[in-house]
Amino acid sequence: MISPQRRLEIIDALRRGSVPQRGLDAFAVGLERFASALDEELARAGAGGAAFKAVRGEYGTGKTFFARWLQERAKSASFAVSEVQISEAETPLHRLETVYRRLVERLSTSDNPQGALRGVLDAWFYALEEDVLADGTLDEQDAQGLLARTDALMEQRLAAVNRHAPAFSTALRAYRRALADGENAVADGILAWLGGEPNVGAAPKRYAGLKGQVDHFGALSFLQALLVILRDAGFAGLLLVLDEVETLQRVRGDVREKSLNALRQLIDEVDAGRYPGLYLLMTGTPAFFDGPQGVQRLPPLAQRLAVDFATEARFDNPRAVQIRLPAFDLERLGLVGRRIRDIYADGSPHAARLGRAVDDAYVDALAAAVTGDLGGKVGVAPRIFLKKLVADVLDRVDLHADFDPRKHYAPTLGEQELTPVERAARAAGSVDDIELEL
């Protein structure tokens, strides 16, 4: 049963043409084949191991949907998660300090949907206090004694962090001291520095005895330290999603080489066990994995990601280092549409009217119409189909008692509402729409 809040989040996101952040299990179709293997890999990471998975799929196959579906499964297994969109301008992959900063900005737990670092540290300090009080030798009303004993225990626990990132330990001590002293602004500055923020004022750094900022190599060490803190705070580990890695194909040659090498370095260090508790997931298009401007430019990386996809997709191995998402067909598109209709109707006082006006046959007909306007390419249709279904059909049936989508609505696709890939897929409406190379 979906809560009203979760239902609203799903419908609002689809109305905007975006992937919902939560509740994806309610209308996920075709991902069941991966669930068991992914849960096993999450369990291994949660037990102190590490895992890496590459996901390939054309536009519209649901790579972002898959990543967020997995994030929900990870949260239910007590993982923290973070989704980082790779882009040349904002998050270039070869700048690992920027990737780390985005990771922290988007760090999410079941209790904190974004920017969860403060909550993680609070949980860590709370766990320290609970451990101190557990032996029964200290009165919990003795604030100064509790602080002193907790500081001593913190130093023991920080030994593991200190091996990886001494500066992280230094900042943590100063952060706790600032909180105890009521220096909230200083504590906020130290927290920002821990998150990789480059523009932290001089006062917090002077208070903590810190210099400079997190650099490329420091980012890798800080990731190790963050994993230690997550584990001590009661989390199973961290699921880190690197989404849209195929954008590397469009960057300058030297930047692409650096980025591919950074990706190879991350994979190798995950395999070497340097990041216990980390599950690293990356998504990309087949062209990125197989084409000349992607993974194939760096043979060592291509070797690590190589998987034979010559067999039928139904025989794919979900345990492989690289998996492919099945392309949408009309049957699957219609099934997703029917699930969305039912989710919408469950939260509406006009459920019966919605069921009559937007029956299964109409949902299938709308899917076929939208797909036809996109050149019959079902794979690029899901986003715009679900947006049309929610905003143009379900909303109107819900709001207007006399609205009949079969009589009063003809689906049209405006250029301004389509992505470049969707525009490229549109069927030519006339001879004038056909571009000729002269």
Quickly list DSSP for 238-286.
Answer: EEEEEE-GGGGGGS-HHHHHHHHHHHHHHHHHHHTTSSTTEEEEEEE-H
* pLDDT tens by residue, 340-372: 999 999 989 999 999 999 999 999 999 988 888
Residue 434 confidence (pLDDT): 39
Residue 419 confidence (pLDDT): 74
Tell me the percentage of the chain whose pLDDT exceeds 70.
95
Q: What is the mean pLDDT of residues 305-309?
A: 93
Residue 376 confidence (pLDDT): 67
Q: What is the mean pLDDT of residues 304-310?
A: 93
Kindly report the backbone phi and psi dihedral angles of residue 324, in degrees, each rounded to the nearest multiple of 5, phi listed first: -115, 140
State how far the Cα of 389 lies from the Cα of 396, in Å rounded to an integer: 10
* pLDDT tens by residue, 232-260: 899 999 999 999 899 899 888 899 999 99
Residue 25 confidence (pLDDT): 84
> Range(s) for CATH 3.40.50.300 in the chain?
31-109+235-324
pTM metric for this prediction? 0.86
Residue 128 confidence (pLDDT): 85
Cβ-based neighbours of 277, under 8 Å, separated by 6 or more: 45, 46, 48, 50, 227, 230, 231, 235, 236, 237, 238
* pLDDT tens by residue, 159-174: 877 887 889 989 998 9
Q: What is the mean pLDDT of residues 201-215?
A: 91
Q: What is the mean pLDDT of residues 176-187?
A: 91
Residue 158 confidence (pLDDT): 82
Q: Which residue has the higher pLDDT, 419 or 18?
A: 18
* pLDDT tens by residue, 364-401: 999 988 888 776 666 667 888 899 999 999 999 999 99
State how far the Cα of 257 lies from the Cα of 94, in Å rounded to an integer: 9
Whether the pLDDT of residue 194 is over 70: the answer is: yes
Tokens of 8: 């609203």
147 pLDDT band, cuts 50/70/90, is confident
- Bridge partners, residue 278, by sequence: 238
Q: Which residue has the higher pLDDT, 214 or 280?
A: 280
129 pLDDT band, cuts 50/70/90, is confident
Q: Which residue has the higher pLDDT, 140 or 301?
A: 301
Whether the pLDDT of residue 71 is over 70: the answer is: yes
Tell me the percentage of the chain whose pLDDT exceeds 90.
58
Domain 31-109+235-324: CATH class, spelled out: alpha beta
State which amino acid sits at residue 69.
Answer: W
Q: Which residue has the higher pLDDT, 377 or 190?
A: 190
State which amino acid sits at residue 15.
Answer: R
Residue 21 confidence (pLDDT): 85
β-bridge pairing 79-85 and 322-324: unpaired
* pLDDT tens by residue, 397-434: 999 999 999 999 988 877 777 777 777 766 444 434 43
Q: Which residue has the higher pLDDT, 261 or 375?
A: 261
How much is the mean pLDDT over the chain? Answer: 88
Residue 379 confidence (pLDDT): 60
**Concatenated DSSP letters of 106-156:** T-B-SS-SS-THHHHHHHHHHHHHHHHHHTS-S-TT-HHHHHHHHHHHHHH
Residue 426 confidence (pLDDT): 66
Q: Which residue has the higher pLDDT, 425 or 156?
A: 156
- Coil/strand/helix, residue 56: strand
Q: What is residue 426's DSSP assignment?
A: S
Residue 430 confidence (pLDDT): 42
Whether the pLDDT of residue 138 is over 80: the answer is: no
